[in-house]
């Protein structure tokens, strides 16, 4: 058993699921199409997705997290890795609060106090909520 075989068995060489990022944590991209997709069985919903062209000219399918968005064609977004288990082929997610992907002004999201960074919300909205 050679050195490389022992490394592979111990799991030291794990392949990346997000190849389009080329080892970077995030990449800038431009939305080419914003649409919905049905999840695999047994789930039922309309998951929001965007087809994004990265700065490396590679096109990927990204999941749009959270409630509500105002993304359109040619919106600039920041893409990170992370697959969605019930959407086949979706290996990337968008990051809220960067470029053109801000939180849509909705009452249920604006008043959020936990997990704010996932929705691109500041710590305090006004002096009354401190």
Q: What is the CATH number of the domain that holds 52?
A: 2.40.50.140
Task: Tell me if 39 is assigned to some domain.
Answer: yes
Per the structure, how many domains does the chain have?
A: 1
Task: Classify residue 74 as exposed, middle or buried by CB count within 10 Å of its CB (0-12, 13-18, 19+).
Answer: exposed
Task: Classify residue 122 as exposed, middle or buried by CB count within 10 Å of its CB (0-12, 13-18, 19+).
Answer: exposed
Task: Tell me if 7 is assigned to some domain.
Answer: no
Task: Tell me if 68 is assigned to some domain.
Answer: yes
The predicted model scores a pTM of: 0.75
pLDDT of res. 11? 64
pLDDT of res. 98? 84
Distance CA 54, CA 28 (A): 6
Task: Tell me if 36 is assigned to some domain.
Answer: yes
Mean pLDDT by runs of 10 across the 130 residues of the chain is 60 75 90 94 93 94 88 93 92 88 59 73 60
Task: Tell me if 83 is assigned to some domain.
Answer: yes
Q: Which phi and psi angles does 83 have, rounded to 5°?
A: -80, 160
Domain assignment of residue 56, given as a range: 16-102
Task: Tell me if 129 is assigned to some domain.
Answer: no
Q: Which phi and psi angles does 68 have, rounded to 5°?
A: 75, 145
Task: Tell me if 118 is assigned to some domain.
Answer: no
Instruction: Enumerate the H helices of 3-128 as residue ranges.
Output: 3-10, 107-110
Eight-class DSSP state of 6:
H
Task: Tell me if 58 is assigned to some domain.
Answer: yes
Distance CA 22, CA 119 (A): 26
């Amino acid at each position: 058993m050679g050195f490389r075989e022992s490394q592979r068995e111990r799991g030291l060489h794990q392949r990346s699921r997000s190849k389009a990022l080329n080892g970077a944590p995030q990449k800038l991209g431009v939305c080419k199409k914003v649409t919905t997709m049905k999840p695999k069985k047994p789930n039922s919903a309309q998951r929001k997705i965007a087809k994004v062209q990265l700065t490396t000219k590679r096109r990927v399918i990204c999941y749009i997290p959270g409630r509500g968005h105002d993304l359109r064609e040619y919106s600039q977004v920041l893409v990170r890795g992370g697959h969605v288990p019930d959407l086949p082929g979706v290996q990337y997610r968008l990051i809220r609060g960067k470029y053109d992907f801000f939180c849509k002004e909705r009452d249920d999201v604006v008043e959020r106090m936990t997990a704010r960074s996932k929705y691109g919300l500041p710590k305090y909205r006004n002096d009354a909520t401190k």
